[in-house]
């Protein structure tokens, strides 16, 4: 599979870097787009037909899902290339309601995505078959329902895990066990000291989790514009001695 980072900025978009969007593609099948923060649709247009992707949400904070409303407009109303059929959408239980409110015309209304996406809610630990991939969600710790995802490509056996947003939890180690690539958030920057509990992790935690899980490569991501990216990667490197990279938009990794 090929990972393309469409956006890696944490909590809010940054100049030249959309908020969370991670595209997994494999030949001969629709891609899998994990999260769709502000700016992701613009970058996706440069990479592929935006209609040719299933969408999987880690959780429904704005920085992970706001561009879904724009994707619905593209799929329904593009004058020459609207979506030819339904794709799959996975996410927390209340995804259709929350995202339906985002694009409803009426203030009390809910825009029903069923015409263009077939939605199924994540059940923690229950694998979902998504064309060339099997995706297993893992319930994690965040102020709203949130999931990490473990993705395995059929045939090649390549594996990738994505933390989504989470405070420290053993579930992240389980999700990332022995994967080829671990995309791990580090919102708090280098250290979690004096940070709000129950929300996020830091570079040190990302390194600890990557080491405990035995991942083959760590990509540190979801760092806000106000945090020190190099120091965050360096903090992770103190606890994990494998290869580490900073997640940046346009980065592509074949695995
Ligand atoms: Zn976030
Ligand atoms: Zn969040």
Q: Using the mean position of ligand 1's atoms as its centre, give its distance from the Cα of residue 2 in Å.
A: 23
Q: Using the mean position of ligand 1's atoms as its centre, give its distance from the Cα of residue 244 in Å.
A: 21
Per-residue pLDDT tens digits for 55-101 = 999 999 999 999 999 999 999 999 999 999 999 999 999 999 999 99
Closest CA to 236 of 192, 190, 194: 190
Q: Assign domain 2-254 one CATH number from 1.20.120.80, 3.60.15.10, 3.30.420.40, 3.40.228.10.
A: 3.60.15.10
Q: Using the mean position of ligand 1's atoms as its centre, give its distance from the Cα of residue 93 in Å.
A: 18
Contact 37, 66 (CB under 8 A): yes
Q: Domain ranges for the chain, please list them.
A: 2-254
From the CA of 92, the nearest ligand is: 2
Per-residue pLDDT tens digits for 203-247 = 999 999 999 999 999 999 999 999 999 999 999 999 999 999 999
- What is the Cα–Cα distance from 176 to 211, expressed in whole angstroms? 10
């Amino acid at each position: 599979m090929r990972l393309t980072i469409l956006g890696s900025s944490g909590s809010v978009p940054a100049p030249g870097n959309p908020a969370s969007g991670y595209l997994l593609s494999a030949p001969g099948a629709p891609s899998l787009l994990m999260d769709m923060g502000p700016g992701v649709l613009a970058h996706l247009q440069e990479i592929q037909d935006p209609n040719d992707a299933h969408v999987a949400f880690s959780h429904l904070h704005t920085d992970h899902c706001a561009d879904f409303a724009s994707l619905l407009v593209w799929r329904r109303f593009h004058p020459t290339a609207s979506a030819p059929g339904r794709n799959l959408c996975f996410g927390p239980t209340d995804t259709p309601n929350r995202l339906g409110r985002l694009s409803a015309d009426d203030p009390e209304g809910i825009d029903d995505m069923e015409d263009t996406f077939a939605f199924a809610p994540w059940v923690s630990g229950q694998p979902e078959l998504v064309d060339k991939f099997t995706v297993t969600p893992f319930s994690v710790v965040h102020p709203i329902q949130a999931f990490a995802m473990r993705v395995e490509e059929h045939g090649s056996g390549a594996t990738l895990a994505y933390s989504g947003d989470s405070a420290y939890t053993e579930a992240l180690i389980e999700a990332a066990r022995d994967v080829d690539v671990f995309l791990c958030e580090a919102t708090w920057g280098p250290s979690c000291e004096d940070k709000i509990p129950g929300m996020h992790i830091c570079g040190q935690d990302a390194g600890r989790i990557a080491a405990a899980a035995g991942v083959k490569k760590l990509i540190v991501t979801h760092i806000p514009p106000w945090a020190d990216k190099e120091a965050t990667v360096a903090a992770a490197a103190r606890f994990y001695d494998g290869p580490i990279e900073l997640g940046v938009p346009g980065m592509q990794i074949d695995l």
